[in-house]
Amino acid sequence: MARVKNESVRQAILTSAASQIAMTSYMDTTVAKIAKGAGIAPSNVYVYFESKLQIYFTIYTPWFEAQVLALERAVARLKTPERKIQRLVGGLLNDIADDKTGYTSALMEGLAIVMPKDKYKPDLLHWAENKIVQIVCNAIEGAKPEDPRLRAFAHLLMLTFDGVAMRVKSQRAANESTANRSDVEEALVGMLIGGR
């Protein structure tokens, strides 16, 4: 007999998982810990979510999308294409990849060990790359979304985002500064602005 899903239980699972993200790493967070924080049996978690990775994506996706949409608005307020692209790159690499919630680094940790059973779908990655192309097209007069150079830029920017998010976690663990990414940012901005 199928179990009836209850929205308050689903929300308790997400709240517990978010708390675990703030306290520990993806690897150290277990479904049992999430279930305990939600006040349910571990088997009940699987009534609502197929995997721990799916729980993290459920938490991370709306947060990430809101961050990118806020960045899009900030970019639109700037006057020059150079400033707009600098803000886009800096916002992704400094503000979102280096977020203080721990959401990004926890998700990157999870993606680094993803297995076929986790049923990873790159929907959020595709959304982000499409949004980057759209932001660039709005920032640079004459830029077209079908331009393969823009697609390559968006893909490279998201690969860099992933790397920064992973490095931030290790730098924090070693008490190293996470502030100096200016050379990488300058190179990425130069891909679009320098070659115009």
* Tens-place pLDDT, residues 67-97: 999 999 999 999 999 999 999 999 999 899 9
The reply to whether 18 and 108 lie within a common domain is no
The reply to whether 59 and 88 lie within a common domain is yes
pTM comes to 0.87
Q: What is the pLDDT of residues 145-155, one digit of tens each?
A: 999 999 999 99
- Which CATH number fits the domain that encloses residue 26? 1.10.10.60
- 3-class DSSP state of 115: coil
- The domain in which residue 57 lies consists of 51-192
How many residues does the structure list for the chain?
Answer: 196
Total domains in the chain come to: 2
Query: Tokens 């990118």, residue?
Result: 68
Nearest-10 crossing angle of helices 7-23, 52-76: 80
- Which CATH number fits the domain that encloses residue 115? 1.10.357
| CB contact at 8 A, 38 and 15 | yes
The reply to whether 152 and 58 lie within a common domain is yes
The reply to whether 24 and 72 lie within a common domain is no
The reply to whether 90 and 62 lie within a common domain is yes
First CA to last CA distance, the chain: 63
